[in-house]
Structure 1
Amino acid sequence: MDWTKTISAKAGGAHIGAADLTADLARRYAPDLLLLALYGLAFAALHWAAHPWGGGGFFSLWYPAAGLRFAALWRRGLAITPWLMATELCVDAMTGALPLTGSGVIHDSISIMRPALAYAAAIAIARSMAGRLSGHRGESGSEPVTAAPMRLGIAALLAPVLNALMFVPLELALPPTAGPSAIRVQLVVSLTGLALGDLLGIIVLAPPLLSLARFYRSAERRALTMPGWRLLVPGAVILGASMWLTVALWRAGLGAQPTPLLLAGAWIGLRHGRTAAWFTILAVVALFLPYSAGPLGDGERLNLHLSLAAVAIVTWLSGCYADTQKIAEDMLARRNRLLFQAERLKTLRAMSVAVIHEISQPLSTLAIEAGHLKSRTADLDADIAQSAALVDRKAHTLSELVRRLRRFGGRSVDEPSPLPLCMLLQSSVQMVAPELRSAQCQLVLAPVPPDLTVHAQEIELSQALVNLLRNAITAAADRTVRMSTQMRGDDAVIRITNAVSARSAPPSASGAGMGIGVIIARTIVEAHGGMLVRDDEPGFVHMVVSLPLHSPRSGTET
């Protein structure tokens, strides 16, 4: 939503009228403005719904608007933070929560903007922490915090805490204000209530909102998955028994004892994952929230919500951990399949070497005799001479093929060597020629500079390019795949491009349905000191391979 850049770009172009500029801005940003308007309406409604759980001197102990804010930032990205803050300011101004006059306008405005800023910082910290751990441990998924479920879980817990902690320095930096909204109880109690309300609002409301967003944004409209009913029955029995025991202890005068619900929530989360954990939290909250909105004392209400928060945290993190472990197991299984495929390729290579050894000598003899036959029949009947020439060409073609296969299967491929890029690309194109014909697809290969050379293993890089070409052929919406090469600094850049339709599966999703071809290609390219990235634009997918040149030299891109 960068309106300033858009207006500057328009103003710097040809003469354009104000009406055209307004229409272009409206067409470009109407969806975002509509979402912000819907966000404002939902935020106002949820903010109003939190009033029954407020107390003397502390914030609402059940604040569902926090879940809406967190889901919007997590889904739409941190760049939307200023727009959310502006929307919340407008909502509070229109509802009277933010007085537009008086000495406390700046103080109250910053207090309203603080939560969105704290949430954005918490999400950035969770993602950054996961990225650093993933970089140290690799992409194996063995580190729980690096997976998406745990990133979401940690951010959901960190956001309310960071919001409460940011309250103190901002209050100290701002001029003091007096009035009915000033805090009259201890600061610790107030900040505890703030964190509890936001925490419960995020955990209860954000997961279903994010699930609905993924569902409606999915091109395939996959149904939302739920654990099987047979698996849920034991969890439902355990949850019901723990809720009954908690209520019984409460009525016996022992207060809110969270231990039974903690144990039940942990078991259900670890057993069934985040979805079942969320329904467990929803059931517990639905049981106790109406009671806590009644005529309770501030201390009793705060104590009850502390127990609710403990149950929600344990249950939610247990479900996140279970889903993370499932992701790690799936990744490990996929890598095992890759290793199995590598072993099969190794066996196939050994078999091909044996076959090549057996046919190379007879084929060499055939090529010699075919050449001799061609020379002896040159002055005979034209049909005989033409047939002899055809046999000679085919024999030489087979000999060249066997020579290349011997080079691929021999020990020389284990050692990198200077490899002209034009030879690598031509070899890869020949390998996918049958698939091009079968898919009725054409491959447009731009001229390759003959002096571009990389230091590589030919068979491995050929496999990488073949995998990328196969994905492009499968996904090409216009039955055309384009391949071009250029030099960028000390690197040779190979770009494979195909057009895609709105509902086409991405190239990384083709091939056994797991993107194994792209994973193998990336592994091979990175082993050669290069890099494989996907660079998309509307309607097109570009797979870009960068490889270091064998003899780096200066010059411009070709």
Structure 2
Amino acid sequence: MKQLKSRTGVALGCALLFAAYFVTARLGLLLGAVAGFATLVWPPTGIALAALWVFGSRLWPGVFAGALCVNLVAGAPLPAALGIAAGNTLEAVAGVWVLGRAGFQTQLDRVEDVVALIIGPAICSTALSASIGVASLRLARIVSSSATVPALQAWWIGDMVGDLVVAPLLFVFLGRQPLRGRRWIRAEVFLLACALVALGLLVFGNAFGGSISLRRHPYMLFPLLAWAALRFGQYGAVTSVFLVCGIAVTGTAMGFGPFAHPTLAESLLDLQAFTSVAAGTTLVLGAAIAERNRAVSARDEFLSIASHELRTPFTALSLQVQALIRRLRRPEGIPSRDELLVDLETANRLLGRVARMIDELLEVSRVAAGRFQLQREEMDLAQSVRESLARFEKQLASAGCRVELRLEGKVTGHWDPVRLDQVIDNLISNAAKYGAGKPVEVWLSDRGEWVVLGIRDYGIGIDPADQSRVFGQFERAVSHRRFGGFGLGLWITRRVVEAHGGTISLTSEPGHGSTFTVELPR
């Protein structure tokens, strides 16, 4: 999120948000609003959600002022307008809070992000706004008891469509993720756009004057929406959904299309139910395709890294053995026992490095398949940390990392010592690797039913944009050319910690190091 911090920036942001909210709200209220206030076309919901998420919740006055003014202009009494404005503002703030708790990313390139958007803001927070808004109208005697359910239904679905059509469009384009270029992409975009417009007008319009007798079923558009998501990711998904929604709303408002009914409110209710399904399906498909593309890229990168990482020690080992063979073949200057011992110890270290890499790869298959089981026993976490520091003493010393260990209270518990050794080793190894030349702090703390392990380095740090993915499989926040490894250590660490019922978190700032905090229940 690009938080606006200066007063000038916040004031300007509130003013722009107020203008966008007011204008789009006035347009929405012109389209068959139930009781004059509950409309099925409400883009301001998506605009408010995107604005508060991207630029910060400090812009909420723009939402409140926009909602208050547009309802006053529409004829609502001041108390009712205040209630509606409070509900609309709470809707946006609650939606942002839910997305934050879910670890939402604006690129919408993960299925979990789309699900969080659908369940959190689109379904839950909109229900909150609809309930408060209709209750305010009921108290002001604007909505009768018989019109309460239709008004609630229209309000909820209208806000939901705003979160599913408008907000994703703003999220994706404000995120400015690069679109993979390929040959003939512009021609394909043009062809897709023409097909969407033509079929949209055929289904929801009267552009062909009834000369085409084909049954106008709205789900005829799904293949084109799938085409957009499959070929252009979320850029294609959000744009095509927005385009189809615009054509559908316009055509239905003019009395055309399969959802045309005697009243506009009834027509738009059926249309927006279809739009919600189409938008949710297309967004999920686009996210699934993005995950698939990332998995393929990660696989290719992993194969490249793995071949490089495995080749390096094997090459060194081969050179070591060949040099030893040449020395032994010479009749003169046969190496002494001590020289042979040094050469063999070097070869053994290289073999150990290869073995550790292979073990890490085998561990991935076991963890991913869920085949590893915890062998719990009573253990002292402080003792395990001391043993790990002893194992990495040479690596820490060669990296110039002075270690400070702090112990607060008794840190014993019922855990798997072998698995926790993996966790501790991975975190200390990373601290030595990425914090070279700087001190490393390790602390253990007794928190009652929980034990906390923290490891902090003062090295290169991790960019905020990469922090959410460093715990992923084969994910790396640094170039593999500078730092070796498969990008599996933190993924295994997270899986082991979660298997114990614990959590692991990261706080980091580029250039100022990283802090990993592990919390384990006893």
Q: Which TM-score applies when normalising by structure 2?
A: 0.61
Matched residues in 2 for 1:460 and 1:241: separation? 59
Matched residues in 2 for 1:90 and 1:450: separation? 53
Shift of the 289–497 alpha-carbon distance from structure 1 to 2, 3 Å rule, reads: same
1:242 and 2:199 correspond: yes
Shift of the 34–240 alpha-carbon distance from structure 1 to 2, 3 Å rule, reads: closer
CA contact (8 A) 2:43 2:162 kept: yes
The aligned counterpart of 1:534 is 505
Matched residues in 2 for 1:422 and 1:51: separation? 64
Matched residues in 1 for 2:521 and 2:254: separation? 70
Matched residues in 2 for 1:224 and 1:270: separation? 12
CA contact (8 A) 1:497 1:543 kept: yes
Matched residues in 1 for 2:209 and 2:35: separation? 28
What are the superposed Cα offsets for residues 188-230 of structure 1, whole Å, 9 maximum, x if unpaired? 6555554454344333321132224434xxxxxx535689557
Q: Matches of residues 76-475 of structure 1 in structure 2 within 5 Å?
A: 80=57, 84=60, 86-91=61-66, 97=72, 104-118=77-91, 147-155=112-120, 157-158=122-123, 162=127, 166=131, 170-171=135-136, 175-177=139-141, 190-191=151-152, 193-195=154-156, 197-215=158-176, 222-223=177-178, 235-236=192-193, 238-246=195-203, 247=205, 251-252=209-210, 257-259=216-218, 261-265=220-224, 267-268=226-227, 271-272=230-231, 273-287=233-247, 299=262, 301-302=264-265, 305-306=268-269, 308-326=271-289, 420-421=383-384, 423-430=386-393, 432-433=395-396, 437=399, 441-446=400-405, 460-473=419-432, 475=434
CA contact (8 A) 2:130 2:156 kept: no
1:510 and 2:470 correspond: no
CA contact (8 A) 1:493 1:546 kept: yes
1:63 and 2:50 correspond: no
Q: What is the one-letter code of the residue matched to 1:276?
A: G
Shift of the 69–224 alpha-carbon distance from structure 1 to 2, 3 Å rule, reads: farther
Q: What is the one-letter code of the residue matched to 2:169?
A: P
CA contact (8 A) 1:262 1:315 kept: no
CA contact (8 A) 2:255 2:261 kept: no
SS of the aligned residue for 2:505 comes to: strand
Shift of the 288–207 alpha-carbon distance from structure 1 to 2, 3 Å rule, reads: same
SS of the aligned residue for 1:147 comes to: helix
Identity of aligned residues (%): 16
Matched residues in 2 for 1:106 and 1:255: separation? 51
Q: What is the one-letter code of the residue matched to 1:245?
A: L
Say how many residue pairs are matched: 435
CA contact (8 A) 2:445 2:451 kept: yes
Matched residues in 2 for 1:457 and 1:160: separation? 42
CA contact (8 A) 1:532 1:543 kept: no
Q: What is the one-letter code of the residue matched to 1:541?
A: S
Offset at 1:518?
0.9
Shift of the 540–165 alpha-carbon distance from structure 1 to 2, 3 Å rule, reads: same
Q: What is the one-letter code of the residue matched to 1:97?
A: L
CA contact (8 A) 2:410 2:446 kept: no
Greater helix content: 1
Matched residues in 2 for 1:224 and 1:332: separation? 17
Q: In the alignment, which of 512, 516, 520 is matched to residue 543 of structure 1?
A: 516
What are the superposed Cα offsets for residues 499-530 of structure 1, whole Å, 9 maximum, x if unpaired? 45685754654378885211112233445x47
CA contact (8 A) 1:497 1:540 kept: yes
The aligned counterpart of 2:443 is 484
Q: What is the one-letter code of the residue matched to 1:106?
A: P
SS of the aligned residue for 1:442 comes to: coil
SS of the aligned residue for 2:178 comes to: coil
CA contact (8 A) 1:277 1:319 kept: yes
CA contact (8 A) 1:119 1:159 kept: no
SS of the aligned residue for 1:114 comes to: helix
Matched residues in 2 for 1:457 and 1:161: separation? 45
Matched residues in 2 for 1:223 and 1:203: separation? 22
CA RMSD of the aligned region, Å?
A: 5.7
The aligned counterpart of 1:14 is none
Offset at 1:311?
4.7
Matched residues in 2 for 1:332 and 1:44: separation? 43
CA contact (8 A) 2:502 2:518 kept: yes
Rg larger for = 1
The aligned counterpart of 2:320 is none
Matched residues in 2 for 1:74 and 1:455: separation? 41
Q: In the alignment, which of 506, 516, 524 is matched to residue 496 of structure 2?
A: 524
Offset at 1:184?
12
Unmatched tracts of structure 1, length 5 or more: 1-25, 132-143, 216-221, 345-390, 550-558
Q: Which TM-score applies when normalising by structure 1?
A: 0.58
Offset at 1:110?
0.8
Offset at 1:451?
9.2
Offset at 1:60?
4.6
CA contact (8 A) 2:40 2:265 kept: yes
SS of the aligned residue for 1:207 comes to: helix
CA contact (8 A) 1:258 1:311 kept: no
Which has the larger displacement, 275-284 or 41-50?
41-50
The aligned counterpart of 1:43 is 21
What are the superposed Cα offsets for residues 106-130 of structure 1, whole Å, 9 maximum, x if unpaired? 22311232233345567778999x8
Matched residues in 2 for 1:187 and 1:255: separation? 39
Unmatched tracts of structure 2, length 5 or more: 104-108, 308-337, 357-373, 481-485
SS of the aligned residue for 2:276 comes to: helix
Shift of the 236–432 alpha-carbon distance from structure 1 to 2, 3 Å rule, reads: farther
SS of the aligned residue for 1:252 comes to: coil
CA contact (8 A) 1:256 1:307 kept: no
Matched residues in 1 for 2:293 and 2:426: separation? 22
Offset at 1:238?
4.8
Matched residues in 2 for 1:503 and 1:212: separation? 21
CA contact (8 A) 1:243 1:261 kept: no
